[in-house]
Structure 1
Amino acid sequence: MNRKRSITTVLAVVAIVGLGSLTVTNTGLPFAAESPPQKKQESESGHKHAEGKDHDGEESSNKEASGQGKEEAHDEEGQLELTTAQIDAAGIEVAAAAPRPMSTSLTFPGEIRFDEDRTTHVVPRVNGIVDEVKVELGDSVKKGQVLAVIASQQITDLRSELDAAQRRTELARLTMQREKKLWEDKISAEQDYLLARQAYQEADISLANARQKLNAIGANIKVAAGNRYELIAPFDSVVVEKHLGLGEVVNESTAAFTLSDLTRVWATFGASPKDLKQVAVGRAVKVSAPDLGAQVDGRVSYVGSLLGEQTRAASVRVVLPNPSGAWRPGLFVSIEVTAEKGAAKVTLPESSIQTVEDKPSVFVRNAEGFQVQPVTVGRREGGHVEILQGINVGTQVATEGSFILKSELGKSSAEHAH
């Protein structure tokens, strides 16, 4: 019995020792299995770094993809993909940029004015009262046509003086003839004849003086005209100003009418000292009026030798024919003076130039269709424009119908914006 207990006790002790050993071993396993704290941190750091690397790599990849997308979007910006059939159907024509002789020109703002050589101010040369006004403002008149009639006492006095001079002259002539006959018949002395001839000559001088007084004021020398004084048109013209009314009292300083021959006008502008070398008499010019949509060629006829006190510019004049009266005085115009000839390295028709994003641009033909290309323009002449920068000689560019491409480009930009 005691032996059994002893065996049991031994077995219990052995079991307890075994369990204790097992507990210590199990308790130590996690630490043995786990890495040291430093190694664990390095491991975790390495894991995170790996994850970060993967993440960064993904972001880098995304960024590269995004950048590539942007570059592709940038490459596609301004590109219009069109087939040859579509281009032909739209009526778009293509031309190659080429060199061309062009003139260097200067453009000045100008104004149409009366031709002062064919403009006159009609004034009465006597005092009087307006009896008749025969024309109105804007009327066309012929040379010698009566514009107005003025009743003047001054005219009456001058015509009376003329009438008296005519009578005295006639009487002196008859007296001279009688004295000459008597002298020839030896009835009277030669002295009487000489006195009669002198009296006749003096009367004739008085008559001529009376006629000259009437002619000087432009009055009719017929005595029967009474006190009528007529204002006469000196040449074919148009009444551009009228300052006369019935019953109005006028004198020598009254500006009654202003007449101008509008079949010829002046286009005038001011040239600064730095431009005077390019503006000379005889230079060809083009005068254009945007408001009228009209253009006419001419030549510089006068360059002033003095500079204006206010503008510090010399007055320049171009004489223009105006048979239809379209060039009205007071109209603002643009005057292009052709200065000198020169070769332009790259030129295009003006129809190829379109404004895209406030810049002059052209549509360059490529394999896919057309690509918009900003350019720098220079001189313009004869429907062509010089290209200073942007394209080279031989570049194929849309000409007629380029506005259609501009419209399509605007639609494409609007769609991308949405």
Structure 2
Amino acid sequence: MTTERNTFAATMLAVSLSLFTAILAPTALAAQEMDDHAEHSEPDTHNGQSNDHGGADVVQLTDEKIALAGLETAVAQPGMLRETLQVYGRIEPIPSRMAVVRARFSGQIIRLDPDVGQRVTRGDALATVEADDSLQRYTLRAPVSGVIVERMATAGEVTADRNLLRIADYSQVWAQLAIFPSQAEKVRAGQTVLLLGDGVQTEGVIDWITPDAMLGPARHARVVLPNPDGKWTPESTIRAEIVTAVTDAALVVENRALQDIEGRPSVFVREADDFEVHPLTLGRSDGRATEVLGGLKPGVVYVTANSYLLKAELEKSSAEHDH
């Protein structure tokens, strides 16, 4: 009886060991495979791109690289979309800020001081003339402040009946915009205008529109432009966008921020040194800003200027990873 019990116990022990081994074997094999993979793997940084963000496309840059790239950011927030009308025109001097200097009485020019390019102030002495009839000398003074843009005489000459100097004050100028009949019903005084010249742009307001076509088929819409640094050159041509309507949008981003990432319009959202791609669903656009319908939350910081550099870095990292 004792022998039978021993035989039965040995048999049950053998069966238990077999079952335990069968259960343990797959787990041990999986653990071994994970260890083997870890031994032959390296951290997946891909030259600045990291997969520590749930697989999202992320570019990581140091502060030095961020400064070197000249990246600029903005906060995603509500904004306005503007319908615009594109027109053309030119910069003109303001007549009341122009003046010519002539002798009050005919005579000989004793001295004529300022030259072209010299700035003068209203009341400055410009020339001395000796009158022919009385032989008395008198002084010619600047009638306005500005710059000498033309000189038509010199000392020793007679004044005769001619202009001696021309003075112009270009610290304020006019932008004269051509408005054709098909555009006239959309344009009125008080509208905002974006003015674009050669390497310069600014916003202004239409302050007057000619009542009829004074020069050719077009009327003129006038914008007064401050020009203290002389960036707006008289007689230069300009392009302008007149704002004809404004609508509100719940969330907008600047157009320069948008990049095509894998066939979808996207922006790079910044968190510390990470720049994460956010694909967007877009709505209306006015050429400068675009309405965001999905993919972005208000208040996040996104890259505006030079965002294309982040796209290039992302593509470079992906190419290196593929190889």
TM-score, L = length of structure 2 = 0.61
Which of residues 221, 225, 236 in structure 1 aligns to 2:145? Answer: 236
What is the aligned partner in structure 1 of residue 93 from structure 2? 114
Q: CA deviation at 1:351?
A: 3.9
Q: Label 1:121 to 1:355 Cα distance change in 2 as closer, same or farther (>3 A).
A: farther
What is the aligned partner in structure 1 of residue 124 from structure 2? 145
Q: Label 1:306 to 1:81 Cα distance change in 2 as closer, same or farther (>3 A).
A: farther
What is the aligned partner in structure 1 of residue 308 from structure 2? 403
Structure 1 position 258 matched with structure 2 position 166: yes
Which of residues 227, 234, 248 in structure 2 aligns to 1:322? Answer: 227
Structure 1 position 128 matched with structure 2 position 126: no
What is the aligned partner in structure 1 of residue 175 from structure 2? 267
More divergent stretch after superposition (102-111 vs 89-98): 89-98
- Superposed CA deviations along residues 180-228 of structure 1, whole A, max 9, x for unmatched, are xxxxxxxxxxxxxxxxxxxxxxxxxxxxxxxxxxxxxxxxxxxxxx343
Q: CA deviation at 1:338?
A: 2.5
- Superposed CA deviations along residues 143-178 of structure 1, whole A, max 9, x for unmatched, are 22222233342x42xxxxxxxxxxxxxxxxxxxxxx
What is the aligned partner in structure 2 of residue 247 from structure 1? 156
Q: Label 1:288 to 1:95 Cα distance change in 2 as closer, same or farther (>3 A).
A: closer
- Superposed CA deviations along residues 336-392 of structure 1, whole A, max 9, x for unmatched, are 333222234773233422479xx9953599xxx8597897973146xxx125xxxx6
What is the aligned partner in structure 2 of residue 386 from structure 1? 290
* Equivalent residues of 1:264, 1:323 under 8 A apart: yes
Aligned partners of 1:325 and 1:285: how far apart in 2? 20
- Superposed CA deviations along residues 312-350 of structure 1, whole A, max 9, x for unmatched, are 221221112334444443444443333222234773233
Aligned partners of 1:363 and 1:125: how far apart in 2? 68
* Equivalent residues of 1:141, 1:238 under 8 A apart: yes
Q: Label 1:336 to 1:94 Cα distance change in 2 as closer, same or farther (>3 A).
A: closer
1:148 is paired with a residue whose SS is strand
Q: CA deviation at 1:393?
A: 0.9
More divergent stretch after superposition (117-126 vs 322-331): 322-331
* Higher Rg of the two aligned structures: 1
What is the aligned partner in structure 2 of residue 84 from structure 1? 53
Aligned partners of 2:194 and 2:73: how far apart in 1? 29
Aligned partners of 2:283 and 2:175: how far apart in 1? 31
Q: CA deviation at 1:268?
A: 2.0
Q: CA deviation at 1:118?
A: 1.6
Q: Which amino acid aligns with 2:168?
A: S
Q: Label 1:105 to 1:249 Cα distance change in 2 as closer, same or farther (>3 A).
A: same
What is the aligned partner in structure 2 of residue 337 from structure 1? 242
**Which runs of 5 or more structure 2 residues have no equivalent in the other structure?**
1-48, 270-275
1:406 is paired with a residue whose SS is helix
Q: Which amino acid aligns with 2:58?
A: I
* Equivalent residues of 2:77, 2:252 under 8 A apart: yes
Q: Label 1:81 to 1:331 Cα distance change in 2 as closer, same or farther (>3 A).
A: farther
TM-score, L = length of structure 1 = 0.49
* Equivalent residues of 2:207, 2:223 under 8 A apart: yes
* Equivalent residues of 1:272, 1:313 under 8 A apart: yes
What is the aligned partner in structure 1 of residue 27 from structure 2? none
Q: CA deviation at 1:273?
A: 1.9
Percent identity over paired residues: 25
Q: Label 1:82 to 1:271 Cα distance change in 2 as closer, same or farther (>3 A).
A: farther
**Which runs of 5 or more structure 1 residues have no equivalent in the other structure?**
1-79, 157-225
**Residues 217-232 of structure 1 mapped to structure 2, 5 A cutoff:** 226-232=135-141
Q: CA deviation at 1:408?
A: 4.0
Q: Which amino acid aligns with 1:403?
A: Y
* Equivalent residues of 2:174, 2:222 under 8 A apart: yes
Structure 1 position 350 matched with structure 2 position 255: yes
Which of residues 91, 97, 101 in structure 1 aligns to 2:80? Answer: 101
User: More helix by proportion, 1 or 2?
Assistant: 1
Aligned partners of 2:145 and 2:76: how far apart in 1? 52
Q: Label 1:414 to 1:116 Cα distance change in 2 as closer, same or farther (>3 A).
A: farther
Q: Label 1:110 to 1:94 Cα distance change in 2 as closer, same or farther (>3 A).
A: closer
Q: Which amino acid aligns with 2:53?
A: T
CA RMSD of aligned residues (A): 4.3
1:306 is paired with a residue whose SS is coil
Instruction: Name the count of aligned residue pairs.
Output: 253
Aligned partners of 2:107 and 2:85: how far apart in 1? 53
Q: CA deviation at 1:303?
A: 0.9
* Equivalent residues of 1:151, 1:227 under 8 A apart: yes
Aligned partners of 1:82 and 1:271: how far apart in 2? 56
Q: CA deviation at 1:299?
A: 1.9
